[in-house]
């Protein structure tokens, strides 16, 4: 049995591949209590029990040290008589927000220093092999100002991290393979997800190699429909889907995977407003927001075919005018409303009231329903009704329905960014996934991707299928979150989007396992 440590483990994507390759994960760690719930439940399901044969530590890596990690491992029930003398491999993916091409790319982001902490743990534990994974942006990221070397070496400002890592590991007695960019789609995953991978081998062991792609050719790729088609329509399951139903990750005790043929975890669908569904319907498979914009400008759009979206477009286009008229109505009917609020808070309350008025725009006002939505508006039903009736007379006058209809249908080349934003919102990264191809990189925000066939976003399970998680793997906690909570909460969509695809992890871990086998002393041949 080979022993592995998984740091920055998240919900457990890398762990799945590590276990599939035949490793025993004796220690893992992450700082998020949200992923802890998912990770520990899955590992209990696989027979990895806290305190018995594995240890999960809820901790920031800066609070960990090698001595305590080894102590926690040897205090496990299965090792109390025969202690673990050496760790075979440490896997880890230090948080990469500071490195990400899609992110801020701030070289002074404190999260960028976490790879130094990863090196510190390696120095203290001295495993035979080291694997580090990160986003592709790692390849061009510069060192933080004032970087403190683990090895004691000094580096000039603006040194590339890809140059520093090999030098640091060399000083720690490791041979380092040049960092390589691996695409998950080349390893049986229906997703074009590129990750920077570093493999290091201690200088007294056989060097580990990078895995060779198994599905590199276009005709070998797994498609999105092969991954998720059975989840929303009847038909024959693909070989890929069958593999996830039957399970790939073995149980610790009996080596058998956990199947899931009947119940589908995390398949709750999102409920979208009619206007949102009509907006999604503008996208053909594989089209991005920019593709839809180009199509509208070239061919025009008959908004009568999208009545709910047309209505929303009218309100979005007239939002500044309507807000101004709302304030006029309030001044006439209830002067000094929200006067005690600061200007920013007052404006938020005005906008909230504007949305409540829109909600009732095409319906008859009923006292009971109005009272239910007034909340902390400080308005009575009568006052709201008077303001509402005044707005009905004055709103949507800057851009009339006729003007916007004719603009989009007959004068599409004159459509400005203002109207396109009002139609499509400012979500310029949205794309409808091409079901017959591989998906783009799954992200942590679910509304970036439209389902290949249906006018909705993907479910958590559909994203998990595209990542390559077994169907028996259940993601715990809230499905999604928003606003300021995103800094601290790690809901299900984020757990999936942050994960390393298990099949990619499996291919990497299998190479480490083969190097460990090759390192072991050969049995003498008895003649």
Comparing C-alpha atoms, which of 293, 318, 289 is closest to residue 447?
A: 289
If one compares 368 and 515, the residue with the highest pLDDT of the two is: 515
What pLDDT is attached to residue 527? 55
Q: Please enumerate in sequence order all residues whose Cβ is within 8 A of that of 220, keeping only pairs 6 or more positions apart, or say none.
A: 214
d(CA 351, CA 345): 10
Tell me the average pLDDT across 185-213.
97
User: What's the Rg (C-alpha) of the chain?
Assistant: 28
Q: 340 vs 8, which has greater pLDDT?
A: 8
- DSSP character string of 1-17: -EEEEEES-TTSHHHHH
Calpha distance 327→111 (Å, rounded): 45
Q: Rounded to the nearest 10 degrees, what angle do helices 161-171 and 114-125 cross at?
A: 20
The predicted-structure confidence for 109-133, as pLDDT tens digits, reads as follows 655 678 889 999 999 999 999 999 9
Mean pLDDT computed over 379-394: 95
Residue 398 pLDDT greater than 90, yes or no: yes
What is the C-alpha separation between 447 and 430, in angstroms, rounded? Answer: 7
pLDDT attached to residue 125: 98
* Cα 174 versus chain centre, distance: 32
Does the pLDDT of residue 96 top 60, yes or no? no
Reduced to 3 states (helix: H, G, I; strand: E, B; else coil), residue 147 is coil
Tens of pLDDT, residue by residue over 297-333, are: 999 999 999 999 999 999 999 999 999 999 999 999 9
Ramachandran angles phi, psi of 77, nearest 5°: -55, -40
CB-based burial label for 202 (10 Å; 0-12, 13-18, 19+): buried
Q: Cα separation of 122 and 120, whole Å?
A: 5
Residue 100 has pLDDT above 50, yes or no: no
Cα 201 to Cα 20, 171, 185, 276, 520: the distances in Å are: 21, 12, 26, 51, 14
Q: Which of 9, 96, 341, 391 is catalytic?
A: 96
Distance, in Å, from the CA atom of 418 to the CA atom of 421, rounded to the nearest integer, reads 5
pLDDT in tens, 42-53: 999 999 999 999
| Average predicted confidence (pLDDT) for the chain | 92
| Helix 274-281, helix 307-317: angle, nearest 10 | 100
Mean of pLDDT values over 233-242: 91
Largest CA distance in the chain: 106
227 in Cβ contact with 201 (< 8 Å): no
pLDDT at 198 exceeding the cut of 70: yes
310 token code pair:
């047309």
> How does DSSP assign 168-204, residue by residue?
HHHHTTEEEPPPEEEEGGGGT-SEE-EEEEEEEEETT
Answer yes or no: is pLDDT of 418 > 90. Answer: yes
| 96 carries an active-site annotation | yes
99 has pLDDT over 50:
no
Out of 267-271, 336-340, 460-464, least confident range: 336-340
pLDDT in the model for residue 526: 63
Q: What is the pLDDT of residues 470-519, one digit of tens each?
A: 999 999 999 988 776 777 789 999 999 999 999 999 999 999 999 999 99
What is the rounded CA–CA span in Å between residue 337 and residue 350? 10
CA-to-CA dists, residue 245 to 2, 252, 257, 265, angstroms = 27, 19, 10, 11
pLDDT over 70, % of the chain? 95
Return d(Cα 180, Cα 136) in angstroms, integer. Answer: 9
H or E stretch covering 389 = helix 381-394
3-state SS, residue 291: helix
More confident residue, 162 or 201: 201
* Closest by Cα among 282, 305, 281, 308 to 295: 282
Which domains, from first to last, does the chain contain?
Answer: 2-243+490-519 (3.40.50.150)
């Amino acid at each position: 049995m080979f022993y592995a440590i998984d740091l920055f483990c998240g919900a457990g994507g890398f762990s799945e591949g590590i276990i599939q390759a035949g490793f025993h994960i004796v220690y893992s760690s992450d700082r998020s209590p949200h992923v802890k719930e998912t990770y520990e439940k899955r590992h209990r399901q696989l027979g990895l029990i806290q305190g018995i044969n594995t240890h999960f530590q809820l901790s920031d890596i800066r609070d960990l040290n090698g001595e305590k990690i080894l102590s926690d491992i040897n205090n496990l029930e299965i090792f109390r008589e025969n202690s673990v003398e050496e760790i075979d491999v440490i896997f880890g993916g230090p948080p990469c927000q500071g490195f990400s091409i899609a992110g801020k790319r701030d070289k002074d982001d404190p999260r960028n220093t976490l790879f130094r902490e990863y090196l510190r743990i390696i120095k203290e534990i001295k495993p035979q092999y080291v694997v580090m994974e990160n986003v592709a942006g790692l390849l061009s990221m510069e060192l933080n100002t004032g970087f403190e070397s683990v090895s004691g070496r000094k580096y000039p400002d603006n040194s590339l991290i890809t140059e520093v890592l090999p030098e640091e590991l060399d000083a720690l007695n490791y041979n380092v393979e040049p960092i390589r960019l691996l695409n998950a789609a080349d390893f049986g995953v229906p997703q074009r997800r590129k990750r920077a991978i570093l493999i290091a081998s201690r200088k007294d062991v056989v060097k580990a190699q990078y895995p060779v792609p198994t599905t590199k050719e276009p005709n070998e790729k797994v498609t999105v429909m092969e991954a998720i088609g059975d989840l929303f329509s009847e038909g024959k399951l693909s070989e890929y889907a069958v593999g996830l139903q039957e399970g790939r990750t073995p149980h610790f005790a009996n080596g058998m995977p956990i199947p899931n043929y009947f119940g589908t975890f995390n398949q709750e669908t999102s409920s979208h407003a009619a206007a949102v569904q009509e907006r999604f319907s503008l996208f053909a498979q594989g089209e991005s927001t920019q593709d839809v914009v180009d199509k509208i400008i070239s061919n025009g759009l008959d908004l009568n075919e999208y009545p709910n979206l047309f209505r929303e477009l009218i309100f979005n286009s007239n939002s500044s005018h309507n807000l101004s008229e709302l304030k006029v109505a309030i001044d006439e009917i209830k002067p000094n409303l929200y006067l005690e609020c600061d200007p920013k808070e007052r404006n938020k309350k005005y906008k909230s009231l504007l949305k409540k008025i829109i909600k009732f725009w095409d319906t008859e006002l009923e006292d009971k329903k109005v009272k239910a939505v007034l909340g902390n508006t400080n308005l009575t039903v009568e006052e709201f009704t008077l303001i509402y009736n005044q707005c009905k007379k004055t709103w949507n006058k800057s851009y009339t329905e006729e003007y916007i209809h004719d603009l989009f249908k007959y004068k599409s080349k004159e459509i400005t960014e203002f109207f396109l934003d009002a139609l499509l919102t400012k979500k310029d990264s949205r794309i409808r996934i091409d079901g017959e191809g591989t998906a783009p990189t799954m992200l942590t925000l679910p509304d970036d991707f439209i389902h290949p066939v249906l006018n909705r976003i993907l479910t958590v399970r559909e994203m998990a299928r595209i990542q390559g998680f077994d169907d028996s793997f259940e993601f715990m906690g809230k499905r999604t979150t928003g606003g300021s909570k995103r800094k601290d909460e790690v809901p299900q969509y984020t757990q999936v989007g942050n994960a390393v695809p298990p099949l990619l992890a499996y291919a990497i871990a299998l190479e480490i396992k083969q190097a460990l086998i090759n390192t072991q002393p050969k049995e003498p041949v008895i003649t």
